[in-house]
Chains A and B, each alone.
Chain A
């Protein structure tokens, strides 16, 4: 009984001891915040990657692909049929994107992915990342009249405005054709008495908002013009394609600017499936932009209809009527069984022709890097708490020395060494509880209000603390795992108790007579 009473009294009369556990508090709070942010980051990233990649992909090792996807899907169905929700044959091939800007051709390397026109069946969350609300419901590579998202829909009202996006779609396409027509007429030396009015009469009030440089930005495209001229309706879209938003956009002064808008035409160049491969090109109309918030994908993916890509690359066999694809994307009923499905498929198909991987395998290095980062941070922060442990040790030694006489008195009253030790151990435990508890509350509060704190800090220092244009997150993602929190608190408690063991042992071993004589 006296242990608890004295422990309590020492706690209440020695506030300095609380100073020694402030470092524990801060350590625990920091650990909770760091773990929550890292976990949030990982989770967000995993969600995104999972949305982009299918659970399991069954791929040919060659760009030429494999023959007869229907046969392969039947075979896969036989092996792991009850695990599969949906399968999608796709063709993936490296390609070059070319588009015109200020009369100059821009060329970029991209990853071209052919997916079925009926993307309802595509084995990923592909449609969720499109920029037109209708396309998110249903997508068939068709250009919409207008109505593309004017802001990043994840950014809310504060998200930067997308410059010129209000005309994107068929409206923009017709505008561009009209501009070109007028430009060609001007070049041909024909008078243009009411050129400006013609444009303004062109049935869109939105044109007033369009920046005046738009006309300068896309002047002449002789190729496109010729193509248009060849068609009955010059404004009719060509084969649709979806561009990764990072390929054609940039941020300037807080606004998103686009080099290419839905409605523009672009050119794609890619190798044929023959040997040796030859380069083929075709013109596509951008029907939407793809924004998954994973820069790696947003700045390399271009989606086109599978049949068009197969046709252009020559991935079909006229005699048998079969086609070729480079991969089959598989969506599972239960994602966690990905590695089991992978192993079964690996065993069933010759590995020198086919490679089977889960989305985790594909993003393994990235996920492992984040995990490693978290582990190292945890280790460092735990070392901070351990250092705090030495602070506790020192202060406890001082308290034991200060209380030497009391220890002697208690021993003269018949208190056993273990009881004396109990006083200081429970003292350490109580301090640890207070420290870790306060740290936990502080950490959880910080995590909960991290975005308010970020904004406040930004206002205070005048610098953006977490620039969404760099991270593609509008808010710092957090995820609190109760077990992580529990382990951190238990670890801190253990350190506080461990630090009090030595002083407590010393107290317990004090000789009563010497302790009583101590001045």
Chain B
């Protein structure tokens, strides 16, 4: 497996992140650029064990196909949980490829390990076995600092329970990743510009009127939109969504799905979404089913 990637012309450091240049504002122009800069080898498709569901969204498939390159790849991921003396295997060798620009849904029952898989992909946890490659770089064994940096700048995450910081307003929550990126003085210097960007992003997700509100003053849908804005503020290459509609009623959840869809099409944002809801999953370009810690071929 390594061979493919060590042959990557971009070298061990990989291509520098293709920022989705203000994807919320001029997504169309960014589309082509992002696709071009992340032109990783396509040969890995041979390893594909994913079950593609072409019927789900035929027009979207074209987008995924046009993107082509593999952005994120998991090979033979294994992860056990230890509860006292008992070892509970969660992932038993998962192979997964995420192509540039696609909206991929990972569907599975509770306990199938889909959240664990997402955490591994997001470098929040380390696999017991297997490898994760992002942009041609192996990230599962990177140092903690490198992984923190990766999460901060190149990965966006949203969660079922939104996970906004309760002490901060919507605007501050969105700015939080930038505050982590920049030191005190660097942030103070660029503050005006960064705040403008956050405001524009909140505007895009439909929260222009909620800038100064604390999470507890917002509805579930609004909180999830704020969380999406926060995930996108650093212009990541990929958005990892853990049950993004899991805690929302049908209509609100659909609104979130539409937002994700539009981000995907307009900004060519690659999205990996974990869900147990097949109705939600069916809106993805491609669906991977996880059963008992393995990708199911059924």
Chain A interface residues toward B at CB < 8 A:
1-2, 4-6, 9-10, 13, 405-406, 408-417, 419, 511-513, 516
- Contact of B176 (CB < 8 Å), options: A408, A413, A513: A413
Q: Is the CB of B180 within 8 A of A5?
A: no
Binds A, one of B44-52, B63-71, B161-169, B267-275: B161-169
Cβ contact of B163, chosen from A10, A405, A415, A417, cutoff 8 A: A405
* Beta-carbon contact of B144 and A1 below 8 Å: no
CB-based contact B165/A414 at 8 Å: no
For B179, the chain A residues whose CB sits under 8 A away are 1-2, 5
Contact A415 B148 (CB under 8 A): yes
**Given contacts A410-B180, A412-B163, A516-B163, are A5 and B148 in contact (CB under 8 A)?**
no
**Given the contacts A412-B122, A419-B180, A516-B163, A5 and B172 also touching, CB distance less than 8 Å:** yes
Task: Check A6/B167 contact, CB under 8 A, given A1-B187, A413-B152, A414-B180.
Answer: yes
B133 within 8 A of A: no
CA–CA, A513 and B122, complex, Å: 10
Shortest Cβ gap from A1 to chain B (Å)? 4
Q: How far is the CB of A2 from chain B (nearest CB, A)?
A: 4
Cross-chain contact A411 with B152 (CB below 8 angstroms) = no
What's the minimum C-beta distance from A8 to chain B, rounded to whole angstroms?
A: 9
Cβ distance B244 to chain A, nearest Cβ, rounded Å:
14
Find chain A residues with CB under 8 A from B176 CB: 2, 410, 413
When the two chains form their complex, are residues B124 and A413 in contact, meaning their CB atoms are under 8 A apart? no
Q: Is the CB of A512 within 8 A of B124?
A: yes
Question: Interface 1/0s, chain B 146-173, versus A by CB < 8 A?
Answer: 0011111100010100011111100010
Given contacts A1-B183, A512-B124, A516-B163, contact A413 B177 (CB under 8 A): yes
Mask: chain B, 181-194; 1 = CB below 8 Å from A; 0 = not:
11110011000000
When the two chains form their complex, are residues A414 and B124 in contact, meaning their CB atoms are under 8 A apart? no
B86 interface residue (CB < 8 Å to A): no
Q: Which residues of B contact A511 (CB under 8 A)?
A: 125
CB of B197 closer than 8 Å to a CB of A = no
What residues make up the interface of B, taking CB atoms closer than 8 Å to A? 119, 122, 124-125, 144-145, 148-153, 157, 159, 163-168, 172, 176-177, 179-184, 187-188, 230
Contact among A13, A415, A516 with B159 in the assembled complex (CB-CB below 8 Å): A516
Instruction: Give the Cβ gap from B212 to chain A, nearest Cβ, in Å.
Output: 14
Contacts of A419 in B (CB 8 A): 180
Question: Across the two chains, which residue of chain A brings its CB closest to B147?
Answer: A414
Nearest-neighbour CB distance to chain A for B136, whole angstroms, equals 20
Q: Top 5 A-B pairs ranked by shortest CB distance?
A: A414-B152, A9-B167, A2-B179, A1-B179, A414-B151
Give bound CA distance, A9 to B165, whole Å.
Answer: 11
Residues of A near B122 (CB, < 8 A) are 412
A414 near B163: Cβ-Cβ < 8 Å: no
10 residue pairs A–B, Cβ–Cβ below 8 Å: A2-B176, A5-B172, A6-B165, A9-B167, A406-B167, A410-B176, A411-B151, A412-B157, A415-B148, A511-B125
Q: Is there contact, CB below 8 Å, between B180 and A513?
A: no
Q: Which of A13, A406, A408, A412 has the most CB of B within 10 A?
A: A412
> How long is the Cα–Cα vector from A10 to B188 in the complex, in angstroms?
21
With the chains together, A512 CA to B163 CA distance in Å?
12
Minimum distance in angstroms from B241 CB to a CB of chain A: 12
Across the interface, A4 reaches (CB within 8 A) one of B151, B159, B181, B184, namely B184
Partner of A513 from B124, B151, B172, B177 at Cβ < 8 Å? B124
When the two chains form their complex, are residues A412 and B167 in contact, meaning their CB atoms are under 8 A apart? no
Which residues of B are found within 8 Å of A408, using beta-carbon distances?
163
Q: How far is the CB of A4 from chain B (nearest CB, A)?
A: 7
Docked Cα-Cα span, A512 to B151, in Å, equals 12
Interface pair A406/B165, CB less than 8 Å apart = yes
In the complex formed, the residue of A with least CB distance to B185 is A1
B187 touches A513 (CB 8 A): no
Residues of B within 8 Å of A516, CB to CB, are 124, 159, 163
Instruction: Write the chain A residue with the least CB distance to B182.
Output: A1
CB pair A513 B119 closer than 8 Å: yes
The verdict on A1 contacting B152 (CB below 8 Å), with A9-B167, A412-B122 known, is: no
Q: Is the Cβ of B180 less than 8 Å from the Cβ of A2? A: yes
**With A415-B152, A417-B144, A513-B124 already in contact, 4 other A-B pairs whose C-beta atoms are closer than 8 Å:** A1-B187, A414-B150, A414-B151, A414-B177
In the bound complex, how far is the Cα of B164 from the Cα of A67, in angstroms?
A: 94
A49-B167 Cα distance, complex, nearest whole Å: 62
Q: A406 and B166 in contact (CB under 8 A), knowing A1-B184, A413-B180, A513-B124?
A: yes
CA distance A513 to B157 in the complex (A): 13
A2 vs B180: C-alpha distance when bound (angstroms): 6
* Contact of A5 with B125 in the complex, beta carbons under 8 Å: no
Closest chain A residue to B157 by CB distance?
A: A412
Residue pair B168, A5 in contact (C-beta under 8 Å): yes
Please state if A412 and B168 are interface contacts (CB–CB under 8 Å).
no
Q: Which residues of B contact A13 (CB under 8 A)?
A: 167
Q: How far is the CB of B185 from chain A (nearest CB, A)?
A: 9
